[in-house]
Structure 1
Amino acid sequence: MPRFSVIVPAYKVQAYLHECLSSVLEQSYADLEVIAVDDRSPDACGAIIDEFAARDSRVRPLHLPGNVGLGRARNAGLAQATGDYLLFLDGDDTLTPGALEDIADRLKAASDPDVLVFDYARAYWTGRTVRNKLADLLTERGPAPFRLDDRPGLLSLLMVVWNKAYRRDFVEREGFAFPPGYYEDVPWTFPVLLTADTIATLDRVCVHYRQRRRGSILGSTSDRHFDVFDQYDRVFAFLDAHPELARWRPELFRRMVDHLATVFVRRGRLPRGSQAEFLRRARAHYRRHHVPGAPLRPRHLLIRFGSHRTYRLLSLTSRLARRTRRAATGTGRRLAHAALRAHYRIQLRLPLRADRAVFTGAGGGRYGCNPAALESTFRNLVPHIRTAWIAEPEHHHTIPVATRRLRPGSAACWTALARSKYLVHNADFGPHVVKRPGQIMIQTLRGTPLKRMGLDLRDRPAAARDADFARMLRSADTWDYVVSGNRHSTLVWERVFPSRFTTLEYGMPRNDVFSRATSADVARLRQALGIPEGSVAVLYAPTYRDYRRSQRPALDLERVLHELGPRFVLLTRAHPSYGEPLTRTTSGRLIDVTGHPSVESVCLASDALVTDFSSIMFDYANLDRPIVVYADDWEAYQAARGTCFDLRAFPPGATARSEDELIDIFTTGHWCGSHSANLRAAFRARFCPCDDGRAAERIVRRVVLGENAWQPSVVPLADRHPAPSAATGLPPVWLATIPAPGRPVPDVEIL
């Protein structure tokens, strides 16, 4: 008996069915069956279903002798289902990666409720996806499971069948089934939610609801839209048969009236000349199911009186009122912006404050990266200079207490930008910031470049997209200093941002912590992340792919962990541009650390790094811990983005081109062997010559205290003692226990 039965009816969706079925069968959670129902489709749907069934035994094809419609096709699949839970997926929609695993986890956490409601996003044919606007109703805060009485707002969600998982024995016990006709979800969804004793929610997009350019049922013109009346008659007949649910009648009446009005006002649904008949039947339904005391709205008046002219007059009045409010709001915003611009211009004419410094990171985000390391050093080394950090309010808690907090766009922020002597950023302050004479701009950027940057992107349209290179160079012209970690970075920055700035080849400030951290710090961080004692923690941190629409990696994390054995733990950290984690698991041996505020802390807690083209490898090399490069798309990445040097010719450790190669590198011990250590040593010598824990101090002394100020000399690599890996505290034989049974143990070095 599988955990899930996914029922997929198919009729005239041959162009989308392959993607639909693949999205189910390629889920990381494999305990499922797919009941694919060919509703006597005149196209190739039946053949596609048979092809999938021949390749995957989990697909159970069902060919109906005649076309029966969406509802009855679902009933046919329902009769064949054997899973604990039922999911319905239309043949042109898709499950998002990892959806079933998250659904299974939530069901377990909520003690197997009758119904689990999850979220969806509309996927437009242009490639744009828009999440459900009522996603807040799916919060997982509060007790679970619950009854609909505890969360009646769920009735405001789109009444469809495919955004829920249903316990099969609950459906069979209550005898739920789909009726024929359009809008067949209505008499299924309402009774299910009203009857369920236990309901839970999952605040996660699990379905991409395809918005077809043409050909969808709701976008077609047909008199079958009149079926909506019969469907609501079935809903109220259900209420009549269950008097204990009578309290829900006012809410369902309101939903009915809203739905009838929507069908009427949406252009293209009703055939020409049928509007009057539709309003007549709508008026009769209003009277038949009317609940005394129900609130009146413009749409209700349309249905109650059946007068389109009255409705148009009320709608026009409502639209005019909304436009008036929007105009007033827009005028207020414009006045506020004008006032801020005037305020900024005034501040630009006032004297600079030599004892002020402003810091921020990309996007007004949390306190971190090179600017944060410099801000801390400013406070410690030159305490007479007051520092401020610009961040959105939700990130203010990450800023040290001694540092002033500024909100982007506020009057205080513009004052600080206009009058502070020192401005420190790792990206760009924006086109409206004026660099004044006497101000000093420090550009830290964000690490050692591997991928192409700046002007090197002119022949890479996939990566550059709509980049404004002229503005990029104008911004570079405002930089007084650019921080560099090595000679490679110096040469790249001066080539791709040709300007008159001074390069400070002093090391990366954010890497200072690697030399200052202790074994106790590493142990504390590992405990905070939930890394089991005695395990080997591997950090997986891939970079962004400009040429991909989906950033989900092809790497099967569960399989990798299974092959590596119980001693390994996998920490996953998604690139900030991903928008979602690589995995939603935050316990056990697969731990997502995307949301952790400090990537440096995550590096310290790990024992090895797996990455691809990310600059994190240059920072991690300072720890002198194993690095494995895993990139199964060398050619595609080079064509879309390109790199500044050939990583294959000068890697920081072992290199894998496939998932099997990656597993083999770990199971044979090559990841920490002598050859990998030699590669890492050469890599570290080339790219970490100045990262000795005092880079930020050298920069502050040079910029603030003057060119002749004493600057600490760079500690040679051989004399550096970065924070030790937790693996060094394990018995010397630990490496010998890692290879899989039957695999040879190579000559390896103890970390």
Structure 2
Amino acid sequence: MPRFSVIVPAYKVQAYLHECLESVLSQSYPDLELIAVDDCSPDVCGAIIDEFAARDQRVRPVHLTENQGLGPARNAGVAAATGDYLIFLDSDDTLTPDALHAIADRLKETGEPDVLVYDYARTFWTGETIRNQVAALLCEEGPAPFRLADRPGLLRLLMVAWNKAYRREFVEEEGFAFPPGYYEDTPWTYPVLMTAESIATLDRVCVHYRQRRRGAILGTVSPRHFDIFEQYERVFAYVDQNPELARWRPMLFRRMVDHLVVVFARRDRLPRRSRAAFLRKARTHYRRYRSPGVPVPPRARVHHTLIRLGLHRTYRALQLTFALARRTAKVADRLLKGLRSAALRLHYRIQRGLPVRADRAVFAAHGVRGHGCHPGALEQAFRTHAPHIRTAWVTEAEQDDSVPSGTRRLRPGSAAYWTALARSKYLVHNAGFDRRLVKRPGQVFVQTQRGTPLKHKGLDLRERPAAADDLDVDELLDNIDKWDYVVSANRHSTLTWERVHPGTYQTLEYGSPRNDVFQQATSADVTRIRERLGIPEGSVVILYAPTHRDYRRTQRTTLDLARVLRRLGPRYVVLARAHHRHGGPLTEATEPGRIIDVSDHPSVESLCLASDALVTDYSSLMFDYANLDRPIVIHADDAEAYEAARGTYFDLRSFPPGAVARSEDELIDIFATGHWRGSRSVQLRSAFRERFCPHDDGRAAERVVRRVVLGESGLPPVVPLGRRHPVPSPAGRSAEGAATGCLASAAPSWLVAPARRSRMSEHSPAPLEGDAVPLLETKADPGR
């Protein structure tokens, strides 16, 4: 008897059925049977099901001799099921990776409940994925399992069959079955939830609910939407047959009214000539099932009144009125914005006629959440080494907490913002201020850039249309002409910036200001950061920070972090940080406490300090992280595609900062064998630091301020690499300590895990002695 019976009815979904069935069979929890029901589909769905059955004995095909509809097709699947739990999946949807594993764990944890409710996310044909908006109802806190009376809010969830796991014996004992019709989920889901003696929730997205561009049944204009009345008649009939469920009538009534309003109001549901008839029938159901004396929620009174009275024309008039009001509001909003914009342009023009203030500086950064990056480090250095300069930071209101108390806050586009841009002597940015900025005589623009360039930048993007993102060369050159200084971390950056950003500016090759903190932080700082992040003591922390993919529409990582952690063991924790252009978490949090989403954390430098190793691909973060002298592992599973789309200035595989993995399995091997901090990795990192971190001794920002603001020529000398002592990671580096004095003199080749050595080039170097080492811990230096 399998643990799960996954039932997939199929009808006219040949384009999506492969992906659906594959998402089930590829689950990390294999104890399942897949019952694929061919509902006499006229396309090749039946053949596809038979192909899957031929290759995997867990697939049980069911072929119906005539088309019966979704409900009866599911019933046929239930009749053939032998698993402990039933799971329904529509044939154009998919299970998320490891969904069944998470469901099985939660079922065991909550004592085998009758029903387990889990979450879903809508996946649009454009590539966008949006999680269920009422996911908070699936919170796992509190007693579990429970009855519906303990958490009636679950009835606010989408009433569908495919976001739940059902104990098969419970379904059979109660005799639940799907009726035919459009809205077959309604008379199934309500009775199941009301009758269940034990319910549990799983706060995890287990289903990706496909939103097709065209072809969804419920989005088709048809008189068959009148089926909704018959389905609610079945729900109330069930309640009448079970008097102990009478307490649910008022809530079911409100849910029915809400559902009827949705069907009536949507233009993609009812034929125009049948709308009045639909509202008349809705009025009949309203009067039939209303519970006298039960109050109507204030926000729903208008809808209830219109349906109770059957006011079709009134409803239509109100819709038109509200639509007209919205359009009027939009026009008024555009006019107000136009007037405000004109007023601000006039204000800026007037301010440009006033003297430049030599004691003012404005800072801003792109791609960071609040006060940070190189401009953030320079703003702090201004306050320390040039305290006579009054600094201001451009930020949104929600990021105010990240700005130091002694720094003025400016809202983008405000009158104060334009005043500051017009009259401040120093302008500091890592990209560029508003394109309407007019740089005045006497103003000094310091361009910090955003890191050492690996991928193509500036004018080089003209040959990379996938990455150019509508690059306006004239606007770029106009921006470059405003720069007076460009801060550079190393010779590679200097040569690259001066070629791809041609201008008359002066390059300040002083190091990376944002990396100063790596030489200044102490072990106490690291401990405090880890405690705030909730990292268990003694953990080995991996910071996973991939960069943006220009050639991908969606940025979901291909790395299965949950699988990586399961293979490495309980000591490992991953800090997952998405690129600022990603706009969401990298992966679903399937390992609470072990996969920590830090995409919204304001300081990537703090995350670097908290970690024991960095795993990245082509992100410039590797150049910064190298200053910590901690292990770096490159996960380059799409190097050819990335190179073709974006282009790089050198082959990272030939000159990496540490071990290189070309697949997920190789990455696991690198950590499992200790290769990530073996002697060979130390050699690679040492060579990398020599080339890209020559000036990052903790005083880069100070040098910039002394040169640009104070006009000094005798700047603090650079501390050599061998005399720098960045704060060690909590996990220690005892395993590589003996090798820290070894420097690689030649550009190394690929470094992969020994288990994958057979796939390496014959010219790849053999592993050095000490590569495969046990994971050891050392105490942090008490003197730091």
TM-score by length of 1: 0.87
Tell me the residue number matched to 1:490. 494
**Cα offset, 1:4, TM superposition:** 4.9
Tell me the residue number matched to 1:229. 229
**Cα displacement string for residues 580-637 of structure 1 (whole angstroms, at most 9, x for unaligned residues):** 1345256565554444433223323333333221112211222223322221111111
Tell me the residue number matched to 1:637. 642
Two-structure CA RMSD over aligned residues (Å): 3.8
Q: Distance in 2 between matches of 1:37 and 1:302?
A: 42
Tell me the residue number matched to 1:182. 182
**Cα displacement string for residues 708-750 of structure 1 (whole angstroms, at most 9, x for unaligned residues):** 3431111122222222244446588999xxx999x99951279
Go from structure 1 to structure 2 and tell me whether the alpha carbon gap of 1:452 and 1:40 turns closer, same or farther (over 3 Å shift). same
Letter in 2 for 1:684: R
Q: Distance in 2 between matches of 1:337 and 1:200?
A: 53
Tell me the residue number matched to 2:410. 406
Of the three residues 538, 545, 569, the one matched with 1:541 is: 545
Farther-moved stretch of structure 1 (471-480 vs 442-451)? 471-480
**Cα offset, 1:184, TM superposition:** 0.7
Tell me the residue number matched to 1:320. 324
**Cα offset, 1:85, TM superposition:** 5.0
**Cα offset, 1:432, TM superposition:** 3.7
Letter in 1 for 2:551: Y
Q: Distance in 2 between matches of 1:449 and 1:623?
A: 19
Tell me the residue number matched to 2:620. 615
**Cα offset, 1:534, TM superposition:** 5.1
Tell me the residue number matched to 2:50. 50
**Cα offset, 1:488, TM superposition:** 0.9
1:209 aligns with 2:181: no
Counterparts of 1:7-406 in structure 2, within 5 Å, are 7-27=7-27, 32-81=32-81, 86-97=86-97, 99=99, 117-132=117-132, 134-135=133-134, 138=137, 140=139, 143=142, 154-166=154-166, 171-172=171-172, 174-195=174-195, 205-264=205-264, 266-267=266-267, 269-270=269-270, 278-292=278-292, 300=304, 303-304=307-308, 306=310, 308-362=312-366, 365-406=369-410
**Cα displacement string for residues 129-186 of structure 1 (whole angstroms, at most 9, x for unaligned residues):** 4555x44764749756676567655544433233444455654554433211111112
Go from structure 1 to structure 2 and tell me whether the alpha carbon gap of 1:595 and 1:180 turns closer, same or farther (over 3 Å shift). same
Q: Distance in 2 between matches of 1:336 and 1:509?
A: 37
Unmatched runs of 5 consecutive residues or more in structure 2: 740-752, 758-765, 777-784
**Cα offset, 1:638, TM superposition:** 0.9
1:624 aligns with 2:629: yes
Q: Is the 8 A contact 1:670 1:746 kept in 2?
A: no
**Cα offset, 1:292, TM superposition:** 4.5
Farther-moved stretch of structure 1 (523-532 vs 208-217)? 523-532
Tell me the residue number matched to 2:770. 748
Letter in 1 for 2:64: L
Tell me the residue number matched to 2:692. 687
Q: Is the 8 A contact 1:564 1:740 kept in 2?
A: no
Q: Is the 8 A contact 1:484 1:503 kept in 2?
A: yes
Of the three residues 426, 429, 447, the one matched with 1:422 is: 426
SS in 1 for 2:399: helix
Counterparts of 1:443-592 in structure 2, within 5 Å, are 443-529=447-533, 531=535, 536-564=540-568, 568-578=572-582, 579-584=584-589, 590-592=595-597
**Cα offset, 1:510, TM superposition:** 1.3
Letter in 1 for 2:125: W
Of the three residues 670, 676, 680, the one matched with 1:675 is: 680
Tell me the residue number matched to 1:703. 708
Counterparts of 1:587-598 in structure 2, within 5 Å, are 590-598=595-603
Farther-moved stretch of structure 1 (628-637 vs 385-394)? 385-394
Q: Distance in 2 between matches of 1:315 and 1:590?
A: 47
Q: Distance in 1 between matches of 2:83 and 2:547?
A: 38
Tell me the residue number matched to 2:743. none
Farther-moved stretch of structure 1 (369-378 vs 411-420)? 411-420
Go from structure 1 to structure 2 and tell me whether the alpha carbon gap of 1:82 and 1:20 turns closer, same or farther (over 3 Å shift). same
Farther-moved stretch of structure 1 (683-692 vs 321-330)? 321-330
Letter in 2 for 1:635: E
Go from structure 1 to structure 2 and tell me whether the alpha carbon gap of 1:300 and 1:459 turns closer, same or farther (over 3 Å shift). same
1:656 aligns with 2:676: no
Letter in 2 for 1:227: D
Tell me the residue number matched to 1:717. 721
Q: Is the 8 A contact 1:364 1:390 kept in 2?
A: no
Q: Is the 8 A contact 2:680 2:767 kept in 1?
A: no
Q: Is the 8 A contact 2:633 2:660 kept in 1?
A: yes
Tell me the residue number matched to 1:440. 444
Go from structure 1 to structure 2 and tell me whether the alpha carbon gap of 1:425 and 1:204 turns closer, same or farther (over 3 Å shift). farther
**Cα offset, 1:450, TM superposition:** 0.6
Q: Distance in 1 between matches of 2:483 and 2:590?
A: 42
Q: Distance in 2 between matches of 1:427 and 1:64?
A: 62
Farther-moved stretch of structure 1 (309-318 vs 390-399)? 309-318
**Cα offset, 1:564, TM superposition:** 4.4
Go from structure 1 to structure 2 and tell me whether the alpha carbon gap of 1:713 and 1:650 turns closer, same or farther (over 3 Å shift). same
SS in 1 for 2:90: coil
Q: Distance in 1 between matches of 2:257 and 2:163?
A: 23
Q: Distance in 2 between matches of 1:60 and 1:465?
A: 48
Letter in 2 for 1:95: L
Farther-moved stretch of structure 1 (546-555 vs 638-647)? 546-555
TM-score by length of 2: 0.84
Q: Is the 8 A contact 1:3 1:83 kept in 2?
A: yes
Go from structure 1 to structure 2 and tell me whether the alpha carbon gap of 1:369 and 1:471 turns closer, same or farther (over 3 Å shift). same
Letter in 2 for 1:541: A
Q: Is the 8 A contact 1:515 1:723 kept in 2?
A: yes
**Cα offset, 1:347, TM superposition:** 3.5
**Cα displacement string for residues 287-341 of structure 1 (whole angstroms, at most 9, x for unaligned residues):** 3334447768665566445564443333323333444444455555554545444
Q: Is the 8 A contact 1:482 1:502 kept in 2?
A: yes
**Cα offset, 1:677, TM superposition:** 2.8
Q: Distance in 2 between matches of 1:197 and 1:372?
A: 57
Q: Is the 8 A contact 1:365 1:392 kept in 2?
A: no
Go from structure 1 to structure 2 and tell me whether the alpha carbon gap of 1:137 and 1:541 turns closer, same or farther (over 3 Å shift). closer
Give the fraction of aligned pairs with identical amino acids, expressed as a percent. 69
**Cα offset, 1:493, TM superposition:** 1.4
**Cα displacement string for residues 323-366 of structure 1 (whole angstroms, at most 9, x for unaligned residues):** 44444555555545454444444443433332222222225722
SS in 1 for 2:483: coil
Q: Distance in 1 between matches of 2:352 and 2:116?
A: 57
Tell me the residue number matched to 2:435. 431
Q: Distance in 2 between matches of 1:515 and 1:66?
A: 73
Go from structure 1 to structure 2 and tell me whether the alpha carbon gap of 1:698 and 1:172 turns closer, same or farther (over 3 Å shift). farther
Q: Is the 8 A contact 1:669 1:745 kept in 2?
A: no
Go from structure 1 to structure 2 and tell me whether the alpha carbon gap of 1:82 and 1:496 turns closer, same or farther (over 3 Å shift). farther
Farther-moved stretch of structure 1 (529-538 vs 396-405)? 529-538
Letter in 2 for 1:626: P
Letter in 1 for 2:465: P
Q: Distance in 1 between matches of 2:317 and 2:674?
A: 77
**Cα displacement string for residues 258-311 of structure 1 (whole angstroms, at most 9, x for unaligned residues):** 433544454464568655654554443333334447768665566445564443
Go from structure 1 to structure 2 and tell me whether the alpha carbon gap of 1:17 and 1:353 turns closer, same or farther (over 3 Å shift). same
Letter in 1 for 2:160: V
Q: Is the 8 A contact 2:677 2:735 kept in 1?
A: no
Tell me the residue number matched to 2:780. none
**Cα offset, 1:383, TM superposition:** 1.7
